[in-house]
Chain A
Amino acid sequence: MDRQRFEDLKEAYALNALPEEERRWFESYLARHPELRREVEELRSISALLSLAPEEQEPPEELRRRVLAAVEAEAPGRRARRPSPAERARGLFAGRGPLVAAAALLFAGLLSWNVFLQAELGKLQQANQSLREQAAREIPLRATDGMRQVEAKVVSVGGEKAVLVAENMPPAPEGKAMQIWVIKHGEPLPAGLFRPRPDEEAVAAVIERPLEGAEAVAITVEPEGGSPRPTSAPVMTAKV
């Protein structure tokens, strides 16, 4: 009779959907029948998959700051809080009145020189922007969960050639390389390999296939010589 009740309730238990009283009964029955634990664990693993189903939402940066600050406050021997730039400036000039006055005069002179330079710079930036718009298109890559601090983009030049540029890309594990894929009609096509080095913060690699007609670009970690088809989930992707 009890066994029948167990069978009747096990899925609801795995989904955390039993009322309190039934949950207590179920757990006490399970404690008396350890041979049934494996089956319940498996049901729990399956129900836990539902946690991956929701539409993805980007957590706000402010939340990250809040959580990390709370953790820092509890970390042993936590780092001293860094003063803000304004606080540092105040500290620098504390008790140095005459020095500040001289610096102010110098600053005024530099300011007028700076106005002239800014005007020139503005013209150059305008010209540069116009050239860039004509020549290149940038598509940011979206990092999957493990590579959030990597900033990467595909820079497509004139529609035919494209380059992948990445900052903060970690070095590939021993015996592995990063492989670029161009996805066309749902088919991933190999498009080049690169190996970020530990001592370089930025890396660039040529995408060895035209992006015309492609749906997406992706990066996976593959064996050193590359793979004809991806053998792991992408670490970064971009819809083209």
Chain B
Amino acid sequence: MGESARRYLLLADEDLLSLVERRDPDAFAALYDRHSRAAYSLAYRMMGERQAAEDLVQDAFLKVWRSAGSYRAERGSVRTWILSILHNRGIDQLRAQASRLRTRERLEASSEKTQPSEAFSETLRSSQREQVREAMSTLPPEQLKILELAYFSGYTHTEIAELLGLPLGTVKGRMRLGLKKIKEYFESRDLAVPK
């Protein structure tokens, strides 16, 4: 690896994105290396299979390359921006699928996937990913499932109500309580909600 490429490793995301805006492919490569794992993990979780996940990641990163100038720091971190591009595109794709393969079984299995991984040290728990997983592990399963159906599988609240045989008001109530509980997790530990 060249010296200049190594220098990119320590640049802040915002600085890399400014270079990407000026069409610097090396800065883009550094940004890709930094966030592709999180992006691919989310894409795989949403699409449920490798090829579709790869296509979604490629699509999202090309959008990052082509519209780096539309990033606004006041609305959140670069990572959140990249993941929201991917998430929005993924939702569009899921909703556009004529025959949805998002079966009840797959969704029921999904709550296990977001349980906290084996936390083996305080050091590792300090990472944002671990904090988020821990926050989610505090949710009752019925709230967690509704958040996952909406966020990862692209169901609307009315579709979730239909799928689970629940009144719409119950679905909305669980969404409200679930998000509130995640917020309270961070507040009770004096942690800022990661942006």
List of A residues within 8 angstroms of B183 by Cβ: 42, 46
List of A residues within 8 angstroms of B28 by Cβ: 68, 71
B-binding segment of A56-64, A88-96, A103-111, A203-211? A56-64
How many pairs of A and B residues are in contact by the CB < 8 Å rule?
222
Output the least CB separation between B175 and chain A (Å).
4
Cα separation A218 to B129 with both chains bound (whole Å): 16
Residue of B3, B50, B58, B147 near A50 (CB, 8 A) is B147
Given contacts A144-B127, A183-B123, contact A67 B62 (CB under 8 A): yes
The answer to whether A18 and B157 have CB atoms under 8 Å apart is yes
Residue of B nearest to A66 (CB): B58
Given contacts A186-B122, A234-B127, A239-B120, contact A50 B57 (CB under 8 A): no
Output the least CB separation between B168 and chain A (Å).
10
The answer to whether A11 and B172 have CB atoms under 8 Å apart is yes
List of B residues within 8 angstroms of A72 by Cβ: 25
- B 165-195 contacts with A by CB, 8 A: 172, 175-176, 179, 182-183, 193-195
Cα separation A87 to B35 with both chains bound (whole Å): 35
The answer to whether B65 and A74 have CB atoms under 8 Å apart is yes
Cα separation A45 to B77 with both chains bound (whole Å): 10
The answer to whether B127 and A41 have CB atoms under 8 Å apart is no
B138 close to chain A: CB less than 8 A:
no
Given contacts A11-B179, A149-B1, A188-B123, contact A17 B150 (CB under 8 A): yes
The answer to whether A54 and B45 have CB atoms under 8 Å apart is yes
Output the least CB separation between A115 and chain B (Å).
36
A216 close to chain B: CB less than 8 A:
yes
A148 close to chain B: CB less than 8 A:
yes
Residue of A11, A67, A75, A188 near B61 (CB, 8 A) is A67
Given contacts A17-B160, A54-B41, A54-B45, contact A43 B62 (CB under 8 A): no
Output the least CB separation between B48 and chain A (Å).
11
Q: Which of B40, B123, B152 is the most central at the interface, judged by chain A CB atoms within 10 Å of its CB? A: B123
Contact with B along A162-181 (1 / 0, CB 8 A): 00000010110100000001
B54 close to chain A: CB less than 8 A:
yes
The answer to whether A186 and B120 have CB atoms under 8 Å apart is yes
Given contacts A12-B175, A55-B45, A70-B62, contact A216 B132 (CB under 8 A): no
Q: Residues of B with Cβ closer than 8 Å to A? A: 1, 3, 5-7, 9-10, 23-25, 28-29, 32-42, 44-45, 50, 53-54, 57-58, 61-62, 65-66, 75-76, 80, 83-84, 86-88, 91, 113-114, 117, 119-124, 126-129, 132-133, 135-136, 147-148, 150-152, 154-158, 160, 172, 175-176, 179, 182-183, 193-195
Q: With contacts A74-B65, A218-B124 known, what are 4 further pairs, Cβ within 8 A?
A: A12-B175, A15-B175, A48-B76, A51-B38
Pull 12 A–B residue pairs with CB atoms less than 8 Å apart, ordered by A.
A15-B175, A16-B91, A16-B151, A17-B151, A41-B75, A50-B136, A51-B83, A52-B38, A67-B36, A70-B58, A147-B9, A188-B122
Q: Residues of A with Cβ closer than 8 Å to B? A: 8-9, 11-12, 14-19, 41-43, 45-60, 63-64, 66-68, 70-72, 74-76, 78, 144-150, 168, 170-171, 173, 181, 183, 186-188, 198, 201, 215-216, 218, 220, 230, 233-234, 237, 239
